[in-house]
Amino acid sequence: MKLEALVNDFGVRSFRDIGDSDYIAARMACRAGLVTQFLWASQQTIEKFFKCILLLNRIPAKDVHHDLRKALWKINGSGKLTLDLTEGTTGFINTLADCGQYRYFEASNVGFGGDLVTLDRAVWEVRRYCTLAIEPREAKLQNGFPAPSVRIPGGFLEKVIDDVNGHAREPLLWQNAFFGKRRRKTVRLSPWFQAHNSPLYLNPQILDEVMKYVYLPKGIAAAYRVKDEAISAPK
């Protein structure tokens, strides 16, 4: 196999396929009402899809790390392609960029049962660019109509859908209006809502003591230090 094909295989197997698995895990977490796990798995899903797109299109992105906004900016500014995303998906990506990366509950978070549909739509929109095939990219969402069926040749999700006895199939297809062999017009979800305040948000005065023993991102530490100073300042 030639070098170009081997690099593409790396991008597909290390980013798209693992992102597909993260997506199924995110759906399971949302279904169970596990907000932190849902946001983290969703962030990982979109991050890996972006990195797959960057690599397949040979867009240098060594400095992206976990920054979803920077990854999207590099893709759209590359001159090679522009992702056609709905406003809802762009908003969800921004939400994940703001709080999805904090898997240790460093930041407060909020979740809704309906976020499952938002995740499904975002994955459908972004994932169709995780291939060099032209047909998936040409699919479009239209208001009032079910999402068109998009199949990526050799895709992991496609293999899960086709394996009727696979353990991952039910978690993927449960109330999914964007992936599956039949096109759903409606889905039924539990209307749950959860909001959680981080321990550091509630007690920013513990920041310096905590940082003696654990690593916290610089941005998080700086934000809580400002909050603590504001609380401690004389009235």
Predicted confidence pLDDT, tens digits, the chain (235 residues): 799 999 999 999 999 999 999 999 999 999 999 999 999 999 999 999 999 999 999 999 999 999 999 999 999 999 999 999 999 999 999 999 999 999 999 999 999 999 999 999 999 999 999 999 999 999 999 888 899 999 999 999 999 999 999 999 999 999 999 999 888 888 999 889 999 999 999 999 999 999 999 999 888 999 998 876 766 666 6
**What confidence score (pLDDT) does residue 14 get?**
98
pTM: 0.94
- Among 33, 5, 22, residue whose Cα is nearest residue 154: 5
Give Cα 65 to chain centroid, integer Å.
Answer: 14
Q: How do the domains of the chain map onto residue ranges?
A: 3-196, 200-235
Tokens representing 8 are: 């593409």
What residues are paired with 196 via a beta bridge?
Answer: 109
- Determine the pLDDT at residue 205: 94
> Given this model, what pLDDT does residue 42 score?
98
Q: Which helix H or strand E contains 63, and what residues bound it?
A: none
Q: Which helix (H) or strand (E) holds 192?
A: none
pLDDT of residue 235: 60
